[in-house]
Structure 1
Amino acid sequence: MQKKPILTLSVAAAEALTKNRFVSHDGSQTGAGEKAFGVAPYDVAAGEAAPLDVIGTTLLELGGTVTVGMGLKADASGRAVDHGGAGSLNARALQAGAIGDVVEAILIP
């Protein structure tokens, strides 16, 4: 599986972060429908510097079924789910998948 981040920035992890999930500006896992700052490429312990993919493509863990081209937002644990016109649009799926799958997506700043 590939990803092509164009810009990676760091935040201090406010809590333990799970790889391939959305992260907020404050360094916490993004909550349901919230605007994400980026995606953690690997697990990060609380208090550590967390690099985040913020522009380009990234790998996202899915919290539900998605199709190619579908807009994505965060669920309550930072996984990517169907945007459905509600909440912040954080990415667009480049691959289809189901809950628990990891797919490539293009980030929408």
Structure 2
Amino acid sequence: EKAQTGGSLDDFTSLIYEVVGRSLDIYLEALEPKEAGQMEQNLLKIGELARKTGETIHTLRYWTKEGLLPVQGHTPSGYQLYHPSMIERVGEIRRLQMEKRLTITEIRDAL
């Protein structure tokens, strides 16, 4: 109040620093939500997805490149991250290949 009602320049400067500091804290908190770390923990790296499905990493990368498996994100070191629901999708892709004899293009259209 003192800074707004004709107080000294120091009072005004300290008020500005306080307001900017609060705004910056809010902004930085919004950039790194606390739930993001928890979400990343639920996602699977490509190697984990390969182990859980019995497919090779090479196959999963190929299917990802062909648009059959969406990537949810990447780790800071660049590993692809997949949602756990992709375990079922990998099984479905393999089933469509083996039982229905569909091509990658046909599978992409079917999914």
Range of TM-score over shorter length: under 0.3
Higher helix share: 2
Instruction: Find the structure with the greater CA-based Rg.
Output: 2
Higher strand share: 1
Q: TM-score, normalised by structure 2?
A: 0.23
